[in-house]
């Protein structure tokens, strides 16, 4: 048995997912590293960090999140804070949504764009105070993002950007049982936090910011705590959730969950060669924000229309479309698969691919070159999975 596709996979468990060093002794460790080892997690290099890929197995962790809840260590994510009198203008320059529309205590999913309107990264921006924002970015881009953001903020007047990644551990509790499991550990009334809202309080005795955000398609919370409190909070949540069947979940399940939920992964589905509109993320653009970098080319593309689009696909023939596989039409390559897996919950082979707009309509039959075999697939709407609310 030999791994056949390591060269073109760029998924969360892939050691080549970023340019960061992946030699074991150079890997960075989250405050929960020892806990993961003690739990028997399979640890892998990811974006320069040693992270848990899976504990009991991707499928069972995936199902736990869909039916109960799972707890993820996402402390590798990068945090950048921007503060100062002109912080709003600075953030408006950096992100493609309109943070002016963002009330204090709320967050939005957005993009950090190049001057061409393509993705430097995707991120969540939290408005902590009128002149204080928190940006949570992908681990693989954290250094690049911070350098770019610092540069842009300098030009924006009275504002400063600070890399505060080392000040936060980040835990994500995701799944239908998340609220009931977390509530006994905090005085914050969790039900009062709306989707994409956040509140301050304590969790298991630790000072925390509790956000109703996530990357799984389920209800849930992302909990920012001081690094030295991470293990205590982690243990308390698992203990609180034991009878409800809450389990620790790794990056493997995080990837299959986000894919079922139709969420894009930077480095797979979006990158510096793809625009917000091509990625089907036009809804994140805040056109009322006239300051953001990349706005002009994006506006032109909006007026002229895109030539290719990211679509959801579902395999008709047996096989799994993987990152980097070609999309064929009449035997000719016309596009590329960006993500794909056999999903544990839907039990179907699904994926995302860039295809010419002529093939982007739902129901269109396309073919995927699966290691030399043309396997039929169908374009389907995303998300593949939507929770019942």
Partner 1 sequence: MAYPDDRRYTKDHEWIRVSGDTAEVGITDYAQQQLGDVVYVELPEVGAHVTAGQPFGTIESVKAVSELVAPMGGQVVEVNNHLKQHPEVVNNDPHASWMIKVRVANPGEAAALLDSAQYQKLLG
> Taking a C-beta distance cutoff of 8 angstroms, is the pair 82, 191 a contact?
no
Of 42 and 132, nearer to partner 1 (C-beta) is 42
Collapsing DSSP to helix, strand or coil, 241 comes out as coil
Pick the closer one to partner 1 by CB: 116 or 369: 369
Neighbouring C-beta atoms of residue 348, cutoff 10 Å: 13
Applying CB under 8 A, the span of 6-14, 102-110, 141-149, 376-384 interacting with partner 1 comes to 6-14
Annotate each residue in 229-258 with x if it binds partner 1 (CB under 8 A) or - if it does not, as one string.
-----------------------x--xx--
| 267 binds partner 1 per the rule CB under 8 A | no
Strand, coil or helix: 141: helix
What does the alpha-carbon distance between residue 58 and residue 54 come to, in Å, rounded to a whole number? 6
As given in the structure block, the two tokens for residue 64 are: 């736990």
Q: Which x/- pattern over 31-50 shows residues binding partner 1 (rule: CB under 8 A)?
A: -----------x--------
Q: Are 294 and 118 in contact (CB under 8 A)?
A: yes
Verify binding: residue 57, partner 1, rule CB under 8 A: yes
DSSP 317: S
Residue of 342, 345, 369, 374 that binds partner 1 (CB under 8 A): 342
> How are strands ordered across the β-sheet holding 220-225?
198-203, 206-211, 220-225, 169-174, 70-73, 247-248
Minimum gap (Å) between residue 227 Cβ and partner 1: 29
Return the residue of 118, 174, 338, 341 that touches partner 1, per CB under 8 A. Answer: 341
User: Site residues for partner 1, window 286-325 (CB under 8 A)?
Assistant: 318-320, 322
- Give the chain's largest Cα–Cα span: 62
Among 4, 38, 155, 192, binds partner 1 (CB under 8 A): 4
Do strands 78-83 and 308-315 pair parallel, antiparallel, or not at all (unpaired)? Answer: unpaired
Using the rule CB under 8 A, give the single segment among 2-10, 81-89, 92-100, 185-193 that binds partner 1.
2-10
Asked if residue 22 binds partner 1 (CB under 8 A), the reply is: no
Under 8 Å CB-to-CB from 279, ≥6 apart: which residues? Answer: 119, 264, 269, 270, 310
Asked if 54 touches partner 1 (CB under 8 A), the answer is yes
Cβ 175 to partner 1 shortest distance, Å: 18
Binding residues for partner 1, how many (CB under 8 A)?
27
Segment lying near partner 1 (by CB under 8 A), choices 56-64, 124-132, 162-170, 207-215: 56-64
63 touches partner 1 by CB under 8 A: no
Contacts of 47 by beta carbon, 8 Å cutoff, 6+ apart: 17, 18, 20, 76, 138, 139, 140
Contact 229, 206 (CB under 8 A): yes
Beta bridge partner(s), residue 46: 49
Q: Which is nearer to partner 1, 45 or 78 (CB)?
A: 45
Binders in 104-143 for partner 1, by CB under 8 A: none
Per-residue binding string, partner 1, 343-362, x by CB under 8 A, is -x----x-------------
From CA 310, how far away is CA 353, in angstroms rounded?
Answer: 5
- CA-nearest of 257, 243, 161 to 214 is 257
Residue whose token pair is 């994006």: 298
Of the residues 9, 143, 314, 369, which one makes contact with partner 1 according to CB under 8 A:
9
Q: Which residues bind partner 1 (CB under 8 A)?
A: 1-6, 9, 11, 13, 42, 53-54, 57-59, 252, 255-256, 318-320, 322, 341-342, 344, 349, 371
């Amino acid at each position: 048995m030999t791994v056949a596709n390591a060269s073109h996979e760029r998924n969360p468990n892939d050691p080549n997912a970023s340019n960061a060093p992946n030699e074991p002794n150079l890997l960075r460790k989250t405050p929960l590293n020892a806990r993961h080892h003690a739990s028997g997690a399979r640890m892998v290099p990811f974006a320069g960090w040693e992270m848990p890929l899976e504990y009991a197995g991707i499928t069972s962790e995936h199902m736990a999140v869909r039916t109960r809840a799972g707890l993820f260590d996402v402390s590798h994510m990068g945090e950048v804070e921007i503060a100062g009198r002109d912080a709003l203008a600075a953030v408006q320059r950096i992100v493609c949504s309109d943070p002016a529309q963002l009330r204090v205590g709320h967050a939005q999913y957005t993009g950090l764009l190049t001057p061409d309107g393509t993705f430097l990264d995707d991120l969540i921006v939290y408005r902590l105070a009128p002149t204080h924002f928190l940006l949570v970015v992908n681990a693989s881009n954290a250094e690049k993002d911070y350098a770019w953001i610092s540069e842009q903020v300098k030009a924006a007047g009275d504002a400063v950007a600070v890399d505060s990644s080392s000040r936060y551990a980040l835990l994500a509790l995701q799944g239908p049982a998340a609220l009931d499991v977390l509530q006994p550990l905090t005085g914050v009334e969790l039900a009062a936090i709306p989707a994409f809202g956040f509140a301050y309080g304590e969790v298991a005795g630790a000072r925390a910011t509790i956000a109703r955000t996530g990357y799984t398609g389920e209800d849930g919370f992302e909990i920012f705590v001081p690094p030295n409190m991470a293990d205590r909070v982690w243990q308390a949540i698992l203990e609180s959730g034991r009878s409800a069947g809450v389990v620790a979940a790794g990056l493997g399940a995080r990837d299959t969950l986000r894919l079922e939920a139709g969420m894009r992964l930077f480095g797979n589905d979006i990158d510096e060669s793809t625009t917000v509109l091509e990625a089907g993320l036009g809804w994140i653009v805040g056109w009322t924000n006239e300051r953001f970098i990349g706005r002009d080319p994006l506006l032109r593309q909006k007026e002229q229309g895109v030539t290719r689009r990211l679509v959801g696909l579902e395999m008709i023939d047996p096989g799994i479309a993987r990152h980097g596989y070609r999309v064929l039409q009449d035997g000719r390559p016309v596009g590329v698969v960006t993500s794909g897996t056999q999903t544990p919950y839907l039990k179907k082979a699904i994926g995302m691919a860039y295809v010419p707009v002529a093939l982007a309509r739902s129901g269109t039959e396309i073919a995927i070159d699966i290691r030399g075999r043309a396997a039929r697939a169908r374009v389907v709407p995303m998300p593949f999975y939507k929770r019942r609310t």
